[in-house]
Amino acid sequence: MKSNRIDFFKGSSLVLIFSILAMAPIWASGLSSRRAVVYTFLFAALSKLTNFSKIRISPSLSCLATFAFGSTLLWLERASFLHTPIRAIIIAWLVLLMIVASNPKLRKLVSVNLLVFGVLFSFLEIPFRLLTSAQSSSQFQYIELFRNSRADGPGALSQPVLNTNTNGLRVTTNQPSAPNGRVLIFGGSTTFCGEVSDQFTHPSILQRMLNDRKSGLIVENYGKSAATATDRVQVLKTIDDLSKDDIVIFYVGVNESGTGFIQRDLPVGLISKIPELGNALQKISKYSRIADILFRKFVFGGIEISDSSKLKAETDFRKAIEEAESFTSKAGAKFVPVLQANLFTRNPSTEYDQTLAKMYGNELGVVMPEMYERLLPVISNYKYFGDARAVMDNLEPSPYFDWMHVNAAGDQRIATFLENLLLEKSLIK
């Protein structure tokens, strides 16, 4: 009896370990923590049923069941995993883990190697933590030291409170309980607003402004790190209940201009095409100094510029905006494309802004204004478009942590601009 209990405990522990291992890269790629826990236990139940129960099925059926499980997961989370390579990797990873879990020899081999890897990684992580600081690539360490020492900028980054809702979206605070319409704001990390706590994101600030007007509208934050308009329009198309009472805002420009750069480092170029990789590095970087350094190096690599890359960026942007407007208008909703502000659109540019800009090299300050001149005509033909390039003008001290991300005062400016734009276009009262 005691032996049976030990075997049961051992089997359950192995199932849980392999289930956590199966879901870890999926969680890192963009799945919310709450949903990752649910899927982990579902995968554990499937593994227990197929490999450790009395009605154990054949390996081929086990793999088929895992394939079905992975496909269902990706369908349910289709807004988080848009790129075919990532979808294929996720399913292949789940099937591989199930094959390993079903074979005692493979299970033992993988378990031993994981233990060895964990020990070696820990030994490697320790000196990195002792010898480096967080966000410690040479460029960003320099920028952070500069920013933290200046009173004419936003100061040091704090530890903001970041929460996501059950749909995997950044929490927007003060949402009405019985809305009669929605304002859906799509964008990259400058919409996600990871530099501030939930209540200070510009979607949350706009929500409070709309509440004061008794508009009855609920604001949803569809921001995602490294996402472009091309990525966001695919997410928009997964919303099957869009209606005439909804307003769709695309707050874009920075990441779209970024696709006009030729990356010097292959991993950076790959991350720009598959944002889930950048999300994974960013999530893991909170727990690992090695991952933190890789994130800073690969996501923020050097740039080179070519006419072909700029033209492709403009073409991709035009196509994405056209698709977004078409999808929105077919549902009767209103489409509002907005060209966002960045460090290089700020006027007058302060000494802090100019010094910060120089830290990114000369190329960025040249290509960003040029790319914006290409993007503005694309969105200016739309009825409800907005030009927010001047939104940070004369704001003191400078709100910029880097060349695109801002503090709470900057987010207040963005929210005020969006409210005024919606009023000007008669989309709210």
Cα(first)–Cα(last) distance of the chain, in Å? 72
- 186 strand-pairing partners: 222, 250
CATH number at residue 337: 3.40.50.1110
**CA angle (173, 30, 252) in 5-degree steps:** 65
Domain of 96, in residue numbers:
2-119
Helix (H, G, I), strand (E, B) or coil at 185: strand
Tokens for 53, please give them. 């129960």
CA dist list (Å): 116 to 17, 127, 289: 15, 18, 19
**240 DSSP β-pair partners:** none
Domain count, the chain: 2
Residue 136 included in any domain: no
Last residue of a domain, one of 71, 89, 119: 119
31-57 CB burial, b ≥16 within 10 A, e <16 = bbeebeeebbeebbebbbebbbeeeee
**Quick check: 276 and 226 in contact, CB under 8 A?**
no
Residue 292 lies in a domain: no
DSSP 3-state assignment of 184? strand
Sequence letter at residue 143: I
Instruction: Give the pLDDT confidence score for residue 137 in this predicted structure.
Output: 45
Tell me whether residue 35 is in a domain.
yes
d(CA 283, CA 292): 9
178 with 98, same domain: the answer is no
Query: In the prediction, which pLDDT does 131 show?
Result: 66
> Are 64 and 166 part of one and the same domain?
no
Regarding whether 113 and 147 lie in a shared domain, the answer is no
Q: Residue 294 domain-assigned?
A: no
Residue 212 CB-density burial (10 A; 0-12 exposed, 13-18 middle, 19+ buried): exposed
Please tell me the distance from the alpha carbon of residue 313 to that of residue 317, in angstroms, as a whole number.
6
> Domain ends where: 53, 84, 119?
119
One domain, residues 114 and 149: no
Burial class (CB in 10 A: 0-12, 13-18, 19+), 64: middle
Same domain, yes or no: 110 and 151: no
How far apart are the C-alpha atoms of 369 and 357, rounded to whole Å? 13
The answer as to whether 365 is a domain residue is yes
**Placement of tokens 């990871």 in the chain:** 194
Q: Which of 100, 46, 86 is nearest to 280 (CA)?
A: 86
Per-residue pLDDT of the chain (429 residues; tens, 9 = 90+): 445 555 555 556 777 777 888 888 777 766 777 888 888 888 888 877 776 556 666 777 888 888 888 888 888 877 666 667 778 888 888 888 888 877 778 877 877 887 888 788 788 878 777 766 554 444 455 677 788 889 999 998 888 989 999 888 999 999 999 999 999 999 999 999 999 999 999 999 999 999 999 999 999 999 998 899 999 999 999 999 999 999 999 999 999 987 765 544 434 455 555 666 666 666 676 677 777 766 666 655 445 567 788 888 899 999 999 999 999 999 999 999 999 999 999 999 999 999 888 877 667 888 899 999 999 999 999 999 999 999 999 999 999 999 999 999 999 999 999 999 999 999 998
Question: Do 50 and 147 lie in a common domain?
Answer: no
The alpha carbon torsion through 145, 147, 150, 153 (nearest 10 deg) reads: -170
Gap between the Cα atoms of 356 and 345, Å rounded: 14
pLDDT at 293: 67
Do 390 and 322 have their domain in common? yes
Q: Looking at the structure, do residues 68 and 199 belong to the same domain, yes or no?
A: no
Task: Residue 63: count other Cβ atoms within 10 Å of its Cβ.
Answer: 17
Q: Is residue 353 included in any domain, yes or no?
A: yes
The answer to whether residue 271 is domain-embedded is no
Are the beta carbons of 100 and 110 closer than 8 angstroms? Answer: yes
* Distance from the Cα of residue 267 to its chain's centroid: 17
How confident is the model at residue 267, as a pLDDT? 41
Half-sphere exposure of residue 291: CA atoms within 13 angstroms, side-chain side = 15
Do residues 153 and 48 share a domain? no
Q: Residue 35's pLDDT is what?
A: 82
Residue 193: left if φ>0, alpha if ψ -120 to 50, beta else—which one?
left
Q: How far apart are CA 123 and CA 199, in angstroms?
A: 39
Looking at the fold, whether 336 and 396 belong to one and the same domain comes out as yes
Whether 288 is in a domain gets the answer no
Query: In this structure, are 247 and 379 located in the same domain?
Result: yes
Report the pLDDT value the prediction gives residue 323, as an integer from 0 to 100. 98
Q: From residue 296, how far is each of 137, 139, 156, 300 by CA, in Å?
A: 6, 9, 17, 6
Q: Are 11 and 97 within one domain?
A: yes
What pTM does this model have? 0.66
Closest CA to 243 of 329, 179, 185, 169: 329
Distance CA 97, CA 154 (A): 46
Domain boundary among 72, 87, 119: 119
DSSP 317-368: HHHHHHHHHHHHHHTT-EEEEEEPP-GGG-SSPPHHHHHHHHTT-HHHHHHH
